[in-house]
């Protein structure tokens, strides 16, 4: 009798364990599904909302290192929702600086690049002044991200935090074009950013 009672208890315990396991498994599946939906929502939001940083969500298209003479300036990386360059927004361009650079120098280089590309716009000087107020001085290791969405809205992030943007739909394509337009002053850098990336390109310019 005792052996029969023990066997009955064992069977009941096994049945209860099976029921509990069947209840837990769907919950685990639901957690995975929920996480996938959240990731998709983040990616979709980043594609349309210039306030959403997407460099940790979108796949990388390409990357390149800018080197001027013997000085390494920054590591750059381009991100899009598809992981390929379609020739237009949305995209986000990340610059991780390898040396200290004052904000005034960044503005100066922006103006120089536009001049070399023959860019003109009635608000160009105003944009440069606004960038001087917006950008902080750069310390080695800092990361500045520029994002342009499909509707032309743009924004900047500094070390992961949104710092603002220029409220003009003409600004984003001209600024991003410094790196990505066919007439970029640094075509070798552009080729690495928009193409397959196996390693950082070493780009030198006298």
CA distances from 191 to 62, 181, 182, 198 (A): 9, 11, 9, 13
- Percent of the chain predicted with pLDDT > 70: 70
How far, in Å, CA of 125 to CA of 33, rounded?
A: 49
Question: For residue 141, what are its two tokens?
Answer: 């290791």
Do 169 and 50 touch, CB atoms closer than 8 A? no
How far, in Å, CA of 127 to CA of 165, rounded?
A: 10
How far, in Å, CA of 96 to CA of 200, rounded?
A: 13
How far, in Å, CA of 59 to CA of 79, rounded?
A: 6
Chain-centroid distance, C-alpha 99: 21
Coil/strand/helix, residue 115 = helix
What was the pLDDT predicted at 70? Answer: 86
Domains of the chain: 60-205 (3.50.70.10)
Coil/strand/helix, residue 203 = strand
pLDDT in tens, the chain (206 residues): 444 444 444 444 443 444 344 444 444 444 434 344 444 454 554 554 556 999 999 999 999 999 998 899 999 999 999 999 999 999 999 999 999 999 999 999 999 999 999 999 999 999 999 999 999 999 999 999 999 999 999 999 999 999 999 999 999 999 999 999 999 999 999 999 998 643 444 454 44
Do 78 and 93 touch, CB atoms closer than 8 A? yes
What was the pLDDT predicted at 113? Answer: 98
Phi and psi torsions of 88, nearest 5°: -160, 170
162: CB partners within 8 A, 6+ apart: 51, 53, 155, 156
Give residue-wise pLDDT tens across range 131-141.
Answer: 999 999 999 99
């Amino acid at each position: 009798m005792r052996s029969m009672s023990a066997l009955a208890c064992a069977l009941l315990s096994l049945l209860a364990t099976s029921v509990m396991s069947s209840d837990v498994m769907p919950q685990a599946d639901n957690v995975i599904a929920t996480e996938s939906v959240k990731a998709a929502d983040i990616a979709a939001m980043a594609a349309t909302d210039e306030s959403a940083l997407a460099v940790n969500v979108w796949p990388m298209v390409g990357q390149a290192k800018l080197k001027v003479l013997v000085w390494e300036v920054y590591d750059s990386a381009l991100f899009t929702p598809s992981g390929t360059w379609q020739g237009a927004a949305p995209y986000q361009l990340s610059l991780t600086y390898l040396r200290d650079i004052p904000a005034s120098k960044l503005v100066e280089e922006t103006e120089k690049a536009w001049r070399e590309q023959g860019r003109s716009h009635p608000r160009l000087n105003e944009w440069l002044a606004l960038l001087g107020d917006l950008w902080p001085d750069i310390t080695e290791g800092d990361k500045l991200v520029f994002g342009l969405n499909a509707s032309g809205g743009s924004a900047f992030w500094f070390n992961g935090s949104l710092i603002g943007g220029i409220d003009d739909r003409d600004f984003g394509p001209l600024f991003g074009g410094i790196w990505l337009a066919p007439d970029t002053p640094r075509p070798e850098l552009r080729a690495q950013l928009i193409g397959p990336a196996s390693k950082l390109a070493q780009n030198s310019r006298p």
